[in-house]
Amino acid sequence: MGCTSSMYAVGRKKKKLIVPEVVVFVPSMPIPVQSDLQRPLRGLIPKDLADRLSCIRNQIVLVAEDTGGSAITELRRALEEYLSILIGLVKKEYGLEGLIEFKWKNLVDGRHEMCASNSWYELLSVIRLMAMLTLSEADSILIPKDLSGSGIRVVSSDCKRDAVDLLLKAAGYLEFCVRDVLVRIPPDIRKRFPKDLHDGVLEAISIQALGQGTEIQLGLAVECQKATLSVKRRLACEQLSYFSQAYQCLSGCDMDADNGYGKKHLWFIKWKFLGAKAAAYYYHGLILDKGNEPSGHVTAVCCFLAAEQLLSESKKACLNFCLAAPVTRAPPLWGAMKHLHQKIPEVASRKSQMYGYLLEQENALQVLPDLPDFQLSLRPDDYQLPQIDPAWDGEKWEVQGQPLKDHLKDSEDEIETE
């Protein structure tokens, strides 16, 4: 038998290693692990409601594992249905919040993140998964299949606008998690959270989504002949501000020590931050160069040279991001960065030659102007929990021959007298 297996192994084709391309970075994809929901709820809620709750959760588990999270529409529909039922478990009047132990794991490596007997933890994990699926959908529509084999990235304006809408939606999910869900989870449970669930990381991903939305808007402005330099500079500066804030959020989370996606996440933020800063200095330099004063030309050249240096550092950060585990590849240049990778070196070289004598006279190579501050334009979509499922209408329940509220009251009395 061993020889036969070996013979077949020799003729077997090796699987082609597929390195995924990343436009919108999804730090991790958490999925639920099958948990016993029915036994802890037996006698406390109607059996058909407990069965439905368990059935939908198991459906989410199976679809996520079978498709690797790619069945976004099916998963989103199931998660929204599950969420409307799950809300009942966090309502204080039902007294069910800590009865069930919920388990979740990372889809990529199967690493168990955590289990907790807390319904708010489950709700947090569900909404976070909805955010990650939305980011994944934005990523997929920005990676069109190149049927020509040319390697040239062409993304339609409609796809870009749809991606911006999805990024704002994902940011809204995550903002809701930080603002309205994490604060309801006891500190002793939050201390056991993996880094992916820390408020700083969730907030960073939310802000990062806004930064990528602004990056897409800058690309649309570059393609629009009516867009002025002032508009492009403002968008570049806003993008820089978003990624700066995202980095600050991550910096307090000790991501370098994270065994998961932490280091990769940091490199992604650095890559985008440096690219945004290069764009901001480039457009700021173009505006300064429009004046007639020699000092303005000198400052403009400083901006162009700084942009060129930042662009070079951005390329290195992109490489480090791609090589950090799990290995990925960056997309071909597209949008604003395709334009900037062509224009920045060209303009920096040309303007340095034109105004090199002024730089020597004023000895101003080290003087780099401050970039202007702008009010940030993009905001996360406002997310609200769905309406609780009508099946939770306790007035219609009869549990063991008595109304639910009376049943729960009797249960509490028994606990107190024991």
Contact (CB, 8 A) for 135 and 167: yes
Check residue 240 and give its pLDDT: 98
Quick one: which of 31, 190, 182, 185 has its CA closest to 98?
185
What are the φ and ψ backbone dihedral angles of 125, each rounded to 5 degrees? -65, -35
Q: Per the domain annotation, does 51 fall within a domain? A: yes
329 forms beta bridges with 21
Q: Per the domain annotation, does 234 fall within a domain? A: no
- The 10 Å CB-count burial string (b at 16+, else e) for 300-325 is bbbbbbbbbebbebbeebbebbbebe
Q: Per the domain annotation, does 69 fall within a domain? A: yes
pLDDT reading at 183 higher than 50:
yes
How far, in Å, CA of 156 to CA of 71, rounded? 23
SS3 per-residue string spanning 73-91: HHHHHHHHHHHHHHHHHHC
Placement of tokens 């769905």 in the chain: 386
- The 10 Å CB-count burial string (b at 16+, else e) for 183-222 is eebeeeebeebbbbbbbbbbbbbbbbbbbbbbbbbbbbbb
Question: What average pLDDT does range 10-19 have in this prediction?
Answer: 55
Q: Per the domain annotation, does 88 fall within a domain? A: yes
Quick one: which of 82, 94, 99 has its CA closest to 45?
94
CB-count exposure of residue 74 (10 Å: 0-12, 13-18, 19+): middle
Q: Per the domain annotation, does 65 fall within a domain? A: yes
Quick one: which of 179, 168, 105, 86 has its CA closest to 134?
168
Check residue 111 and give its pLDDT: 66
Check residue 352 and give its pLDDT: 85
Check residue 356 and give its pLDDT: 72
How far, in Å, CA of 126 to CA of 30, rounded? 9
* Total domain count, the chain: 1
- In 177-293, where does DSSP find H-type helix? 187-190, 199-223, 229-251, 262-288
Q: Per the domain annotation, does 164 fall within a domain? A: no
pLDDT reading at 363 higher than 70:
no
Contact (CB, 8 A) for 275 and 363: no
Domain that holds residue 80: 22-141
Least confident of 87-96, 199-208, 290-299: 290-299
Compute the 3-state secondary structure of the chain and give helix, strand, coil in percent, each to the nearest 5.
Answer: 65, 5, 30
The CA distances from residue 387 to 73, 81, 159, in Å, are: 20, 10, 31
pLDDT in tens, 30-64: 899 988 888 999 888 898 999 999 999 999 999 99
Q: Per the domain annotation, does 50 fall within a domain? A: yes
114 forms beta bridges with 104
Q: CA 124, 269, 157 angle in degrees (round to 5)?
A: 85
Quick one: which of 268, 214, 314 has its CA closest to 22?
268
Specify the DSSP element, H or E, that contains 30: strand 30-33
pLDDT reading at 175 higher than 70:
yes
Residues in contact with 384: Cβ distance below 8 Å, sequence separation at least 6, in sequence order: 176
Check residue 364 and give its pLDDT: 47
Q: Per the domain annotation, does 330 fall within a domain? A: no
Check residue 5 and give its pLDDT: 35
Question: What average pLDDT does range 257-273 have in this prediction?
Answer: 83
Placement of tokens 């993008």 in the chain: 239
Residue scoring higher pLDDT (293 or 189):
189
Mean per-residue pLDDT over the chain, rounded: 85
Contact (CB, 8 A) for 93 and 397: no
Instruction: Please give the share of the chain, as a percent, with pLDDT higher than 90.
Output: 58
Specify the DSSP element, H or E, that contains 106: strand 102-106
